[in-house]
Amino acid sequence: MGSSRVRRTAAPRTLPEKPPSDGRTLPERFRLDGRRALVTGGAGGIGKAIARRLLLAGAEVALLDRDLGALQRASQEFGTLGYRVLILAADVLRAAEVRRAVRRSVRTFGGLDLLVAAAGITDRGTAEEVDLPRWERVLDTNLTGTYSICREALPFLRRGHDPAVVAVSSVYSLIGGVGRSAYSASKGGVDALVRSLAAEGAPAGIRVNAVNPGYIRTPMTEPYEKDRTAMDFFRQATPLGRLGEPEDVADAVLYLLSPASSFVTGVCLPIDGGRSLGR
């Protein structure tokens, strides 16, 4: 007689009923309630979008920018949404102004937990076209300005709650580009700075990361909006076929500042629709 086999079927898998081991649900891991944040370049573009995300996540936010009028407009805009922000008029190129701004933020909020270094400029031109004063202006703003704000903030971040830093770099630190010598060099320096700061800050629990945006629709790209050739290039050079929005970057920054990324440091994260793939 042939032996009969009983076919056993596995019991259907069910999702666990218990929350994550730390007792928080997924949305709560992106919350920043009670955290105190400072955002440079926070009056417009990517910086303002980041500030909005942090406010929505429950953080107290100070905006630092050299444009007082833009700061006031941003404050009014957030006020219509029911949020109050601290505005700090300062130039990241001026060490004394940066020091005063950081300390005022700390005095107002009682400490500092989160820093976003988003202040930056661009200057297109080949190495033969960009003279040393233009080169120095880009390097000083994008790289030295980032170093300056981090240096002033670190002593306070060491005493902060789950401290984290995010610097806004660029896809051009990863791929380079014609007419981008100064800008690419400055942002490549930011990436290197972030990795070193991550190593230095890790023993104190300070996480340091960067985001590397691709082509993002901001005031910097407005001059190209009416240039069909330029816009076609931006889209064709981006595998996802569109320009990014400031909110695309802001969402990534929120992740990198939140408990959801508690084991992430020293990362330079492209937010570029695939531009850094080099297609």
Determine the Cα–Cα distance for residues 217 and 210; give it in Å rounded to an integer. 19
183 is catalytic: yes
Spatial CA neighbour of 264 closest among 219, 213, 198: 198
Alpha-carbon span 27 to 3, nearest angstrom: 54
Judge whether 180 and 172 are in contact, CB under 8 Å.
Answer: yes
- With beta carbons less than 8 A apart as the criterion, state whether 201 and 208 touch: yes
CA angle 34, 37, 41 (to 5 degrees): 155
* Residues in the chain, overall count: 279
Q: Which two tokens mark 116?
A: 């976003």
The answer to whether 104 and 49 are in contact (CB under 8 A) is no
Please name which of 267, 250, 227, 219 lies closest in space to residue 122, comparing C-alpha atoms: 219
Beta strands in the chain (DSSP E): 36-40, 60-65, 86-89, 114-117, 164-168, 207-213, 268-271
Q: Which of 183, 215, 224, 255 is catalytic?
A: 183
Q: Are 57 and 260 in contact (CB under 8 A)?
A: no
Known catalytic residues?
183
